[in-house]
Amino acid sequence: MTTPEGRSDAIVVEGLVKRFGDVVAVDGVSLRGERGKVLGLLGPNGAGKTTTVRVLTTVLSADAGRVEVLGHDVRRDPQTVRTIIGLAGQFAAVDPNLTGRENLRLIGRLTHLPKATVGPRADELLERFGLVDAANRPVRTYSGGMRRRLDLAAALVHRPPVLFLDEPTTGLDPASRLGLWELIEELLAEGTTVLLTTQYLEEADRLADHIVVIDKGRVIAEGAPTDLKATLGNTVAEFGFADTATAAAAATAAAPFAVRPPTVAGTAVHVELADGAHALLEVLRALDLGGTAPEALAVREPSLDDVFLSLTGHHAVDDADTGEGAR
Amino acid sequence: MSRSHVVGDTYAVTTRNLIAYRRVPELLVFSTIQPVLFVLLFRYVFGGAINVPGVDYVDYLMPGIFAQTVVFGAIGTAVGLANDLQSGLIERFRSLPMARSAVLTGRTLADLVRNVFVLALMCVVGVLVGWNAGNTVGGFIAAMALLLLFGYACTWIFASVGLAVRDAETAQAAAFPVMAPIVFASSAFVPVSSMPGWLQGFAKYQPLSVVCTASRDLLLGTNTGGHWVLGALAWCIGIIVISAPLAVLRYRRSA
């Protein structure tokens, strides 16, 4: 479908509300996922990310709001929506008693692939996700990383154009996480539209084109990863000078461009800049004009954790159980 | 949703559940050890003290054992569904374009197939301890069919239990106190006439007793007028008619 701005949105959520008894899990969330792009839904545990995904995937029904996938309303036409989406969840929903191959064949049958292609499609995915050697073993013998790969493969069996990845790497060790990120990046290169939820800032930063930050069921910020950082975080520049006198002079010269007075430590000067690259250029120009050009320069962009802290007043993962526990 | 998808999806889910029974044989072993112990206990320990007029006690006992077996076996339905809810597998099923009904019917049909195997095993055990296995082939087949129907009705009750409690241990713990009076305050092991008067009404007409009595009639060729058989059929159909829609409703709400 096409919006007034002429953008093609695969995922449309407007004013979504979902209550569980007295608890309002999602409180008026609106978001749009552009076709062929990755929308990152970032927030701590209990923010309402998974509930939003469950409504989008027809698992739960909304209390209020409009929710569409590729123009199909999830309430009016859930069965069509189910044919065009894939869901991979943080709870690795594969059958532990079936083998990897049997799991993928079961999904193939239940998504009504032509009978003759169920087997070949399963084999193709096992190959692609590095599970050929484990294909005939019951899934309960798999490692956590292997289970997640199989879960992701299961979401892809019927080649859905829209994919929902609900905290795909939560609870994984760093090596498995990196492996899964690479697999997801390959999918993105094929043009799949993705909605990714995560409580890992690094993950949203690496994979998402557009990030929606939610906390306590509400959207509190959104934008491209770089925009979010530029609006809300300060770029930190660390300069190194030949001697302490030059350093002191440079700190004075840089002061007008910094958000707070630069700090000097020996020959090093620490400058915090509000608008990133542009301010940095101004500082460098001033230093050059004043004859205090630096010997060394290190620039650190704000992390998304800094962003979250300034938006909510708490860290993104402060009280979060990063394991497999809470739902 | 076309009819062929309903059949195909139900078949796929049924097969999946049966693979689990094959691959985790503990599930089957535990559901048969208990009835085998009961056979030995009542045949050789208590049986001598129990007097049932006009019939060998082992022939009285075995239909009771069969009925008890399918009732306790139905806990497996609750455990299976609770596990699938807990693992998130049902969440994936909900996001697939499959027939909604296939999750529950696939479960109960797999448990029906399981009951065929378990009852066959119990028949062998019965013959080993001297059970006559019925007076006619037709009576034997009819009795087994009735017991399987009763087991199928019970799996629908326990489908709701599994969806409600959402975890396997709780399902097991919740089931026993409900089942114990049904299994023991019945004509499964001793004649109802030996019980106190206030208990006899319940013990005689509750579903498990009616199914036991009907099975004995079919196996022994007694009471060929068949009003116990009709009563048993009425109980089974009544249970399915009420508990299946309840389970479906529970499934729709259990997201």
The answer to which of A46-50, A62-66, B23-27, B153-157 has the lowest mean pLDDT is B23-27
Q: Among A129, A61, A43, which residue's Cα sits nearest to residue A94?
A: A129
The structure tokens listed for A235 are 């770029």
Q: Please check whether residue A159 touches B, CB under 8 A.
A: no
| Cβ neighbours for A171, distance < 8 A, ≥ 6 positions apart | A90, A144, A322, A323, A324
Residue-wise pLDDT tens digits, B158-199: 999 899 887 888 888 888 888 888 999 999 999 998 899 999
- Same domain assignment for residues A71 and A202: yes
- Same domain assignment for residues A276 and A179: no
Whether residue A258 is contained in a domain is answered as yes
Q: How far apart are CA A281 and CA A260, in angstroms?
A: 17
- Tell me which chain A residues have a C-beta less than 8 angstroms from the C-beta of B76: none
Whether residue A28 is contained in a domain is answered as yes
Whether residue A115 is contained in a domain is answered as yes
- Same domain assignment for residues A267 and A206: no
Task: Give the whole-number percent of chain B exceeding pLDDT 70.
Answer: 97
| Cβ neighbours for A242, distance < 8 A, ≥ 6 positions apart | A267, A295
Q: Please check whether residue A87 touches B, CB under 8 A.
A: yes
- pLDDT attached to residue A228: 78
- pLDDT attached to residue A3: 44
Domain boundaries, chain B: 3-253
Residue-wise pLDDT tens digits, B89-123: 998 999 999 998 899 999 999 999 999 999 999 99
Q: Chain B interface, mutation test: which of A95, A107, A159, most B Cβ atoms within 10 Å?
A: A95
| Band (A199; pLDDT cuts 50, 70, 90) | confident
| Whether the predicted pLDDT of A1 surpasses 50 | no
Whether residue A228 is contained in a domain is answered as no
Q: Which domain holds residue A281?
A: 234-301
Q: Which of A189, A223, A257 is the last residue of a domain?
A: A223
Residue-wise pLDDT tens digits, B207-234: 999 999 999 999 998 877 778 999 999 9
- Same domain assignment for residues A207 and A262: no
Phi, psi of A285 (to 5 degrees): -60, -45
Whether residue A4 is contained in a domain is answered as no
The mean predicted confidence, pLDDT, of chain B is 91
Whether the CB-CB separation of B160 and B246 falls below 8 Å is answered with yes
- Same domain assignment for residues A255 and A201: no
- Same domain assignment for residues A98 and A135: yes
Q: Is the dihedral of CA B160, B162, B165, B170 positive or negative?
A: positive
Average pLDDT on B34-59 reads: 91
- Same domain assignment for residues A219 and A255: no
DSSP state, A99? B
Q: How far is CA A184 from the centre of its chain?
A: 11
Q: Please check whether residue B56 touches A, CB under 8 A.
A: no
Q: Among A242, A286, A291, which residue's Cα sits nearest to residue A268?
A: A242
Question: What ipTM does this complex have?
Answer: 0.88
- Tell me which chain A residues have a C-beta less than 8 angstroms from the C-beta of B16: 95, 98, 102, 106
Whether the CB-CB separation of A47 and A215 falls below 8 Å is answered with yes
Average pLDDT on B60-81 reads: 93
- Same domain assignment for residues A86 and A122: yes
- pLDDT attached to residue A316: 59
| Whether the predicted pLDDT of A275 surpasses 60 | yes
Whether residue A116 is contained in a domain is answered as yes
Q: How far apart are CA B21 and CA B15, in angstroms?
A: 10
| Band (A140; pLDDT cuts 50, 70, 90) | very high
- Same domain assignment for residues A209 and A274: no
Q: Please check whether residue A85 touches B, CB under 8 A.
A: yes
Does the distance separating the beta carbons of B20 and A59 come in below 8 Å? Answer: no
Whole-angstrom CA distances from B83 to A106, A259, B88, B159 are 18, 55, 9, 12
| Whether the predicted pLDDT of A54 surpasses 90 | yes
Does the distance separating the beta carbons of B20 and A98 come in below 8 Å? Answer: yes
The mean predicted confidence, pLDDT, of chain A is 86
For B9, nearest residue in chain A (alpha carbons): A110
Residue with the bigger pLDDT between B168 and A72: it is: A72
- Same domain assignment for residues A208 and A293: no
Of B20, B88, B97, the CB nearest to A111: B97
Whether residue A327 is contained in a domain is answered as no
How far is the alpha carbon of A273 from chain B, nearest alpha carbon, in Å?
Answer: 46
Residue with the bigger pLDDT between B176 and B49: it is: B49
Q: How many domains does chain A have?
A: 2
Q: CATH number, domain at A205? A: 3.40.50.300
- Same domain assignment for residues A216 and A272: no
Whether the CB-CB separation of A111 and A84 falls below 8 Å is answered with no
- Same domain assignment for residues A173 and A243: no
| Band (A45; pLDDT cuts 50, 70, 90) | confident
Q: How far apart are CA A145 and CA A170, in angstroms?
A: 10
Q: How many CB pairs under 8 A join A and B?
A: 74
For B88, nearest residue in chain A (alpha carbons): A93
Whether residue A244 is contained in a domain is answered as yes
- pLDDT attached to residue B255: 61
